[in-house]
Amino acid sequence: MPVPFFAKGNRMFLPITREEMLERGWDQVDFVLVTGDAYVDHHSFGTAIIGRLLESRGFKVAVLPQPDYKSITDFQRFGKPRLGFLINSGTVDSMVNNYSVFKRKRKVDEYSPGGKAGNRPDRAVIVYSNRAREAYKDVPIIIGGIEASLRRLGHYDYWSDKVRRSILLDAKADLLIYGMGERAIVEIAEALEAGIEAKDISWIKGTCYKAKEIDMDEDTVMLPSFDEISNAKEAYAKSFALAYRSNDYINGKRLVEKYTDTIYVVQNQPQPPLEREELDDVYELPFENEVHPAYAELGEIPAFREIKFSIVSSRGCFGGCSFCALTFHQGRQVRSRSKESLVKEAEGLTKLKGFKGYIHDVGGPTANFRAPACKKQLKSGVCKHKDCLYPAPCKNMDVDHKDYLDVLRAVRGIKGVKKVFIRSGIRYDYLMADKSDAFLKELCQYHVSGTLKVAPEHISDRVLYYMRKPEKKVFVDFAEKYRKMNQQLGLKQYLIPYLISSHPGSRLEDAIELALFLKEYGFIPDQVQDFYPTPATLSTCMYYTELDPFTMEPVYVAKDMEEKKMQRALIHYNKSENRDTVIRALQKADRPDLIGVLLGNQRGNRGNRNESNQRIHKNHAGRKKAAQKRKK
């Protein structure tokens, strides 16, 4: 057999053309993996993980990246797959990928060659599934990835401004995998290999399937019907709360959503998370850690630029931020890779072409989470009616950075590594709950380069309540502690906050409070995101229903585009182009007295970041001294 073209020089990507398939000596593949991203054989891309995992189990897998979705030709590229089509939209929901929060078409696609937009359709999972069905009517279609996972039940869709059906129905797929998917895809593949028809595969955890009738039991919850949630916001909020609290593999229930008397969507209980040894095995699969050579002349994949020299160390997040979909996708149970596996990968990075000594990240959804929040979770699951960090760290939480520090010390001690950054973000409230300052010290000493980016997201305690983020005082105390640590180390390093405008619960006066805080403490935020209602987040439920689904109390939501622009402009009040909008906002809020306060000394577009960031420390010290004086 001739040596496959992409196997020369020990390079073997999964085939993306018929020619590459034939070079492997295959006349048929078991699975065609369809994705909205370009093919990057790296473990940060779900397509690569699923493809390599199935390959390791003996299945023949071809990848169909960014196919021409206007015809069936590309879907017939490899011939009829023996076992099925596996379809995802890519790393990001296709609507989020294609449109800005203001519903304007994006000009750049971070996951396409050269950053070129337009290579994937809107609602990619549905479109790809329909083309695959047209190409081969009797081939099973299994959908997964972030788009399928977060749209697995009836959901509010921001772009059409309505409640849509489960994507399983609209895609006319046979099965839907939600969550990370490794366990589920292997079980499905083995069932198909055994000759079981896709329509009969109904027992696998972490999947959704269609049913004509339902047998109810104590482990099954009937959600409000689709008719109910699409016609009554109270019913939608109730349904969301039930699904949100049933997302743990230990105490989660089987969920049923009725569409008609003969159409039900059933969500099985979640899969258990991969344990440490299993995670090590997945991340040590034989990835090429490169973009497929077919894109060489089309330009780099922008998203891969940062990822290439980064290491994923953990999964899951018990942070519980309202606006984040991680709780619904990866779950709250944190698991991490071993130090040995991470060191092995880091050593491999030092040998890659283009490595200059800098590892961009060793982290995950939250970098400084490496284990379950408490030991109780391992036996009883996550608490259904209680958060780990909100409104304050739970007294049962195990706060310990020793394992993460051990990993960071080992990685930065590798020959050829100059600096290890932590760019996936830390939870400063978790750090503040640690009685030891060892992690903060080494964070400042070794893992920050001038500025540390953290995410308070807002500063109004009312808004933070709906965000499920720590109160303002925690951030201010952290900023002071960070300042003192850098002073102790003889370093000049600063904080830059990430902020969200127009989040549910945020009124114009809250945005003004935030602007005044930024002015007083001298922060000039680097990134500001207007709240984006994406599928399956708690914040999106509040945005649509204007209710808190856990209390059913009303929530104020800024939906008027002019007010949304005002709230965003107030955060960047220092920018000259926002001046008129800020004035209109202050006049609307009946606070014209603040025009001079915020705009009186406006200094150009960005101001002096270092000088302004230093002000928080002086203000904090001044306030502390004044408080002590009052006590005396």
Query: Are both 309-449 and 450-632 of the same fold?
Result: yes
Instruction: Tell me the per-residue pLDDT of 120-152, one tens digit each, with 9 for 90 and over.
Output: 999 999 999 999 999 999 999 999 999 999 999
Residue 290 confidence (pLDDT):
95
Question: Which residue type, as a one-letter code, is found at position 345?
Answer: E
Per-position b or e across 173-206, b if 16+ CB within 10 A of its CB: bbbbbbbbbbbbbbbbbebbeeeeebeebeebbb
Helix (H), strand (E) at residue 361: strand 361-363
Residue 441, classified by CB atoms within 10 Å of its CB into exposed (0-12), middle (13-18) or buried (19+), is middle
The number of beta carbons lying within 10 Å of the beta carbon of residue 626 is: 10
Backbone angles phi, psi at 457, to 5 degrees: 75, -35
In angstroms, how far is CA 520 from the centroid of its own chain? 32
Calpha distance 469→481 (Å, rounded): 19
574-583: average pLDDT = 95
| Mean pLDDT over each residue of the chain, to the nearest integer | 93
On the question of pLDDT at 4 being above 60, the answer is no
Q: Concatenated DSSP letters for 455-523?
A: EEE---HHHHHHHT---HHHHHHHHHHHHHHHHHHT---EEEEEEEES-TT--HHHHHHHHHHHHHHT-
On the question of pLDDT at 631 being above 80, the answer is no
DSSP, res 199: G
CA atoms within 13 A on the CB side of 614: 7
278-299: average pLDDT = 95
- Is residue 24 very low, low, confident or very high in pLDDT (cuts 50, 70, 90)? very high
Instruction: Tell me the per-residue pLDDT of 508-556, one tens digit each, with 9 for 90 and over.
Output: 999 999 999 999 998 888 778 999 999 999 999 999 999 999 999 999 9
The number of beta carbons lying within 10 Å of the beta carbon of residue 134 is: 12
- Is residue 625 very low, low, confident or very high in pLDDT (cuts 50, 70, 90)? low
In angstroms, how far is CA 556 from the centroid of its own chain? 25
Domain boundaries along the sequence of the chain: 5-209+260-267, 309-449, 450-632
Residue 365 confidence (pLDDT):
94
56-72: average pLDDT = 97
Calpha distance 85→78 (Å, rounded): 11
First to last CA, the chain: 88
Instruction: Tell me the per-residue pLDDT of 453-466, one tens digit each, with 9 for 90 and over.
Output: 999 999 999 999 99
β pairing state of 361-363 and 335-336: unpaired
Report yes or no: 516 and 472 within 8 Å, Cβ to Cβ. Answer: no
- Is residue 292 very low, low, confident or very high in pLDDT (cuts 50, 70, 90)? very high
366-388: average pLDDT = 96
284-299: average pLDDT = 95
List Cα–Cα distances, 199 to 144, 196, 432, in angstroms: 16, 8, 50
Residue 601 confidence (pLDDT):
56
Best CATH choice for the domain 309-449 from the list 3.65.10.10, 3.30.750.210, 1.10.10.10, 1.10.490.10? 3.30.750.210
Angle at 131 between CA 128 and CA 132, to 5 degrees: 85
225-239: average pLDDT = 98
Calpha distance 451→458 (Å, rounded): 19
On the question of pLDDT at 96 being above 50, the answer is yes
List Cα–Cα distances, 108 to 83, 118, 328, 515, 560, in angstroms: 35, 9, 27, 30, 27
What is the percent of the chain where pLDDT is above 70?
A: 93
CATH code given to domain 5-209+260-267: 3.40.50.280
The number of beta carbons lying within 10 Å of the beta carbon of residue 279 is: 22
Best CATH choice for the domain 450-632 from the list 3.40.50.300, 3.30.750.200, 3.40.50.460, 3.30.70.1230? 3.30.750.200
Calpha distance 195→431 (Å, rounded): 51
Residue 526 confidence (pLDDT):
76
On the question of pLDDT at 606 being above 60, the answer is no
Residue 174 confidence (pLDDT):
98
On the question of pLDDT at 71 being above 60, the answer is yes
Residue 394 confidence (pLDDT):
96
76: Cβ–Cβ under 8 A, 6 or more apart, which residues? 135, 136
Report yes or no: 40 and 301 within 8 Å, Cβ to Cβ. Answer: yes
Is the pTM above the cut of 0.95? no
Question: Which residue type, as a one-letter code, is found at position 429?
Answer: D
- Is residue 630 very low, low, confident or very high in pLDDT (cuts 50, 70, 90)? very low
Q: To the nearest 10°, the Cα dihedral for 304, 306, 312, 316?
A: -90
Residue 308 confidence (pLDDT):
95
Residue of 18, 139, 143 lying closest to 84 (CA atoms): 139
